[in-house]
Structure formats: C-alpha cells, structure tokens
Amino acid sequence: MTTMTEASVREFKMPDVGEGLTEAEILKWYVQPGDKVTDGQVVCEVETAKAAVELPIPYDGVVRELHFPEGTTVDVGTSIIAVEVAGAAPAEVPAQAPAAEPAQEEAAEPQGRQPVLVGYGVSTSATKRRPRKGQEAPAPQAATALQSELNGHSASAVTAPAPAPAAGQDRPLAKPPVRKLAKDLGVDLTTVVPSGPDGIITREDVHAAVAVTVAPQAPEPVTAPAAVTPAPAPAPAVTYDGTRETRVPVKGVRKATAAAMVGSAFTAPHVTEFVTVDVTRTMRLVEELKQDKDMQGLRVNPLLLIAKALLVAIKRNPEINASWDEAGQEIVLKHYVNLGIAAATPRGLIVPNIKDAHVKTLPQLAEALGELVSTAREGKTSPAAMQGGTVTITNVGVFGVDTGTPILNPGESAILAVGAIKLQPWVHKGKVKPRQVTTLALSFDHRLVDGELGSKVLADVAAVLEQPKRLITWA
C-alpha cells in the first residue's frame, strides 16, 4: 500500500478558538481535496459555543483529505484536514508493521511558526499516538512490574489483569460526556459496540449496552413449559410523529446560551424593577440628531440615547458596575464599562459588548453600535467581542412587547430591558395628551446590588430619557 511519509503530510487539528472551548461544528468547507492552499488561507468556517469563526491553514501544500463533512461537531484537538506540504514526495511503506516493531508516529510541527488564532499555538513537545488498528503494541512489562511492586508482589508472579485490554487493542474512543455517562451508568466502554464515525462510542451505544445488561433474563423452567408464565412485553420505545414534529439538535450558540441562562438564573438572586416614562423629548432629539452634520452616516436611533442614559446613570452610581467573585467572596468594582447589547441572530442570542463605552462621545458610541449590529447580523461576531461585558441592554421593544424580566448575562450585575415606544395617553402639564411612552425594566444581582442602588440607577435612566438635557447637566 502506498502512503505518504510522516514528514510530507500535515494534520491540521481543530483549535480552541475561544477560551476553554471543547468542540466546534464545521459549518462550511472552502477547499476540497486536490486544492492548493497557502499559509494563512481560510479553509473552513466553524461554529463554537460563542460564535462563527473562520480557520486559516498554517502552512502551504495540497489538500489530501477532509476528515469530516459539513455539519459535524468535532472535539478540539481532533484532526480535521490532511495537507501534503510542498516539496515532499510519497514513499512506499508496508501495509502492516511487523509485530516486533510497534508502529509509532511522531506528530511533527513546523518550527518557528507563530500562532494565528486565539488559543491556537505550536506544541513544543512531540506526541505519540496510539498504535493503529491491526497493529500490535509492545507489552507494558515495566508498567506491570511497577504495578506488581505497588501491590506487594514480584513482577514474575504477576500476569495481566483480566480487565486490561489485550495487546494491540485501542482504548475505546468516546467523548468526555459519553465517558462520564458510561461511568455514571456503570458501563465498561471496552464492552460497548461503537456505532459512531471512525469507531467512536456514542451516547446511544452506552444506553444500548445498559439495556442489554439490565434486560430481565427469563429463569430456566423447573416444571413443564406450559406452566411457565410468559414474561410481560417490554414497554414500547419513546417515539414521536415525524410528519408533524421536528427535532432540532441544541448545539453551538443556542446550547451555550441555554447553559449560561440556567446557570445565571439559579446562581444570582434576581430582582427586577419597572418604570414607565414619557420619552417624547428623547424621540424629538433623535430626529434632530439625524439631521446633525456631525452625526451624518452614523446609526442614530432611540437605543443610542438609551445607551447614553444608562452610561450617565452608571457614572452617578458606579457601584452598580460590578461582579460577584464566588471563589474569593468579594465584590469586584469595575472602573470601566463594557456595554453589552443583546442581539438576536439566526444562530441564537448573542451579547457582544462595546469596550470602554464610558469614555466614548455620542458619535463614537453611535459608530460602535452600528458596527456591533451589522457584524452580529452577518454572523461575524468574534468570541473576544462577547467577553468582558459589565452591564447589558436588551431591546425587546423591537418585537412590539411592552417589557420583560431579563436574566443577567453571566458575570454581570445588571441588565436593562427596553420596551416598545408608542403613543399613549399621558398627563402632561395637567392635561391628558398623547405622548411617546415606554416601560423600562432593570434586573440586578441582589447579592451586590440592593434595592436602593438598583432603584437609583433605574430612576436616573428614566430621568435622562424624560429630560435629555440631563445628558449635559449630569455628564
């Protein structure tokens, strides 16, 4: 069989493109086998638990194989594409290594290369892979002797323990969640028949093994077969109507959001306060700013002034801009504001934030908001843009609802929900008149924000929106 030499083929592994991510879904391949690639060329787009990210290849060569099709979720560290590097030639090697010479492959990496992605660097130590299937591995005599000494026996008197896999047998392939499931259910993975790609054990395989293990065994009859009571029929498997129901796998951004919201809801004690406010003057100011030459080409809308009002309220009540450190049992006061803006995207809800929003002028804030929204709509928000937020705004009013009780973004102390702005009858200067009115809702972490502080912040936001000249007098 003809194969490539170890030095001629590079295996590009799924990098950790965020902070501590464990897997990513391959959304789209931009190359196919036979295509030439160059160092830094984007070869695929993947979706992590935080965002969609494009992956560049770190060397020149020719694509030999794509290990996974689009739509596959791959663990970080797993090879996803094989590339033959430039200048290398194939070599003839035996189809199977002799039993006396175990096959070991050294993972070679180019020297001096710099990381091209967050969390993706060059390993300085070579790693040894497991023997390929069908190839024998050397008997672990030294390990056996050491184990025997620990057990108080001589090495010569110890044989391989019964549960240990035979020589040459690979360790069962399974993802960490599947291994944990097997451990919780008491299933030995070496006894499970894999059904996943490349011999990977799936959750269904573990459950199937449990079903076989716990299946009731009919006792041997001690009397005539006619006297034996037949075992009851097993309960039917759980099914669903495929013609009227659709099941959508929860993964990527939606899976991460679900986990984060559950963690936040059951960790931070939420309190939500409401205020209804006349924002007629703010809406007039929005229209005036749209005509201002200093704001030409910028995104000017009510959200811009609401964001500015919240920044003013935080400046007047800086203790609201904080986080709770559970490990250290401390309140961490933030002397900067990274303002998060909740954005609904086809992949789910994300919360990118504007870094150092507290020092931006109104035109700078408008520019940052415009970039944030357009990037989110294109699905190009980076993981870094969603990290480090301190407070968040969620504009539920765009969906026509009055307001809501928002859940805190994990690690933050407050989130402001903005309801729909619409004409309502309102008492103004002693008379009932149609005015532009909205309802604001502020949720906060009651461990570090008491009712007085939360109320002051919400009242200040409302006051600025009712009289926007306070943007000048309070700034």
CA 75 to chain centre: 12
pLDDT the model gives residue 271: 93
Q: Which tens digit of pLDDT belongs to each residue from 242-301?
A: 788 888 777 776 677 777 777 787 778 899 999 999 999 999 999 999 999 999 999 999
Active site residues: 446
According to DSSP, the β-strands at 330-333 and 322-325 are: antiparallel
Please tell me the distance from the alpha carbon of residue 34 to that of residue 42, in angstroms, as a whole number: 16
Contacts of 342 (CB under 8 A, 6+ apart): 349, 350, 351, 392, 393, 394, 395, 406, 409
Residues facing 46 on adjacent strands: 26, 53
pLDDT of residue 186: 77
pLDDT of 30 reads: 94
Q: d(Cα 148, Cα 155) in Å, to the nearest integer? A: 6
pLDDT averaged per 10 residues, the chain (length 475): 58 78 86 91 84 86 92 90 72 38 40 37 41 44 42 40 46 77 79 83 79 52 54 63 79 73 80 96 96 92 97 97 90 96 84 96 96 88 89 94 92 95 95 97 94 96 97 91
pLDDT for 310 equals: 98
pLDDT tens digits for range 349-400: 889 999 999 999 999 999 999 999 989 888 888 888 888 999 999 999 999 9
User: How many of the other CB atoms lie within 10 Å of CB of 98?
Assistant: 10
How far apart (Å, rounded) are the C-alpha atoms in residues 464 and 469?
Answer: 7
Those residues whose C-beta lies under 8 Å from the C-beta of residue 401, and which sit 6 or more positions away, are 419, 420
| 90 token code pair | 């194939």
Q: Given this model, what pLDDT does residue 99 score?
A: 39
* Contact partners, residue 41, CB within 8 Å, separation at least 6: 31, 56, 57
pLDDT score recorded for residue 111: 42
Domains for the chain: give ranges and CATH numbers.
1-133 (2.40.50.100), 139-169 (no CATH), 172-215 (4.10.320.10), 254-473 (3.30.559.10)
